[in-house]
Amino acid sequence: MTKRLHNKYALITGGTAGIGLETAKQFQLEGATIAVTGRNETGLVDAQALLGNQALVLKSDACNVEQQAELAQRLMDEFPKLDIVYINAGDVTHKPLEDWDETSFDQVMNTNLKGPFFLIQSLLPLLSDSASIILCGSVSAQIGLAQSSVYAASKAGLISLARTLSGELKERGIRVNSISPGPTQTDAFNKFGLSKEKRETLIEEVKALVPLKRMGSPWELAQAAVFMASDESAYMLGSELLIDGGVGNL
Ligand SMILES: NC(=O)c1ccc[n+]([C@@H]2O[C@H](COP(=O)([O-])OP(=O)(O)OC[C@H]3O[C@@H](n4cnc5c(N)ncnc54)[C@H](OP(=O)(O)O)[C@@H]3O)[C@@H](O)[C@H]2O)c1
């Protein structure tokens, strides 16, 4: 049987850990040639070992617009075309309203919204005429979870791009959709800037919020990404797919 992503070239930003790394593995299993990005040296080395030499593992900071142009140029040098873009790298900082300053606000917005916007712009010449662009949103954009203000606003902006860019790119056959995870078991919860005790309390509170009373797994998110990346989802345009244990709808 032909693999679902046979002969497709894919970029996954933030593909050295968590949902992005699992998605990279599943894309490879389905026959795609992949490139992933990350920042941390150890993460990059470990991901290269795991994904093998055929994978392009690139250092690139999603919050830096100049580096997005360089990333696009590198892909143009290495790949004949690009069929799948998964904008997955994200800054997940959560804190109370009074603790935000302009620098931390800009960091989240630049990583989750501005960088991705300009990356997609830079990739336009390489995108194939049936490309699927997948934006990793979050169910947080739909609910009012305390301390998620800037993060949720950045993801709401990104999810909006799935609609507007679909409107703009549909004549080329390019589809832009979003996948919005609910709470998912990854290292992201260690990156909220919380003490161990507060982190564990938060995880329990978050689980209690989920109608299914558990976290999702990166594998469950990766399966959704394979569907969105493949031609099986060809009739989806500007949509948001919630993989969230029911948080957004129940
Ligand atoms: N986990 C959840 O509960 C959850 C829920 C809803 C939405 N999401 C979204 O899902 C996506 C993936 O989250 P995750 O839980 O898989 O996170 P994770 O386990 O922390 O992995 C994040 C990945 O992105 C990379 N990354 C982070 N910032 C980056 C940057 N500025 N530039 C390039 N790469 C960067 C990380 O590598 P480096 O550290 O080396 O940069 C790592 O490879 C994010 O967009 C997040 O907002 C997650």
Nearest to 150 by CA among 86, 98, 187: 98
Question: Rounded to an integer, what distance in angstroms lies between the CA atom of residue 221 and that of residue 214?
Answer: 14
Question: Does 26 contact ligand 1 (Cβ within 6 A)?
Answer: no
Name the closest-CA residue to atom 14, ligand 1. 18
- Mean pLDDT, residues 233-239: 98
- Tell which atom from ligand 1 comes closest to the C-alpha of 218: 16
Q: Is 125 exposed, middle or buried (0-12, 13-18, 19+ CB in 10 A)?
A: exposed
What sign does the CA torsion over 158, 215, 212, 234 have?
Answer: positive
Q: Mean pLDDT score of the chain, rounded to an integer? A: 96
pLDDT tens per residue, range 95-121: 999 999 999 999 999 999 999 999 999
Q: Is there a contact between 90 and 141 (Cβ–Cβ < 8 Å)?
A: no
Q: What ligand 1 atom has the least distance to the C-alpha of 15? A: 43
pLDDT (mean) for 152-173: 98
Alpha carbons 144 and 115: distance in angstroms, whole number: 25
- Any atom of ligand 1 within 6 Å of the Cβ of 201: no
How does pLDDT run across 51-81, given as a tens digit for each residue? 999 999 999 999 999 999 999 999 999 999 9
pTM of the predicted model, to two decimals?
A: 0.97
Q: How far, in Å, CA of 101 to CA of 221, rounded?
A: 32
Taking the centre of ligand 1 as the mean of its atom positions, its distance from the CA of residue 19, in whole angstroms, is 7
Residues 144-158 have a mean pLDDT of 96
3-state secondary structure of 147: coil
91 pLDDT above the threshold of 90:
yes
Pocket-testing residue among 11, 12, 16, 19, ligand 1, by greatest number of atoms within 8 A of Cβ: 19
Above 90 in pLDDT, residue 1? no
pLDDT score recorded for residue 202: 81
Give the model confidence (pLDDT) of 181-221 as tens digits. Answer: 999 999 988 877 778 898 888 889 889 999 999 999 999 99
Q: What amino acid occupies position 208?
A: A
Helix (H, G, I), strand (E, B) or coil at 238: coil
Write the single-letter amino acid at 2: T
Contact 238, 187 (CB under 8 A): no
Q: Which residues are catalytic?
A: 151
Q: Give percent of the chain with pLDDT exceeding 90.
A: 90
Q: Mean pLDDT, to the nearest integer, of 33-47?
A: 98
**For a substitution probing ligand 1, which of 186, 192, 205 has the most ligand atoms within 8 Å of its CB?**
186
What are the boundaries of each domain within the chain? 9-186+218-243
Tallying the residues shown for the chain, one arrives at 250
Q: Does residue 59 have its Cβ closer than 6 Å to ligand 1?
A: no
3-state secondary structure of 33: strand
Pick the CATH number of 9-186+218-243 from 2.40.30.110, 3.40.50.300, 3.40.50.20, 3.40.50.720: 3.40.50.720
Report pLDDT for 188.
Answer: 87
